[in-house]
Amino acid sequence: RAEPFTLLFGADSNCQLDQGTYTLRNPELGSMSLFLVPVAPPATSAHTEEDLAGSQEKGWPRTFEAVFN
């Protein structure tokens, strides 16, 4: 069995995706469907939970996570 891993995808603050399945396309790798979850501003920022809850209103960049188990 393979080790679980997580992929993080960054997007600008204008990206308004809800949690759900999206098809990602790449010219070399083709298409694949991934379940993405909006998680937080970039991990390089240290913020409180209250800050994270209001991150969209503050215009912070969006981070989406896909977990593979």
pTM of the predicted structure, to 2 decimals: 0.60
Whole-number Cα distances in Å, 40 to 27, 28, 32, 68: 28, 29, 23, 19
Mean pLDDT of 60-66: 76
Which amino acid would we find at residue 46? A
Please determine, for residue 5, whether its predicted confidence score (pLDDT) is greater than 50: yes
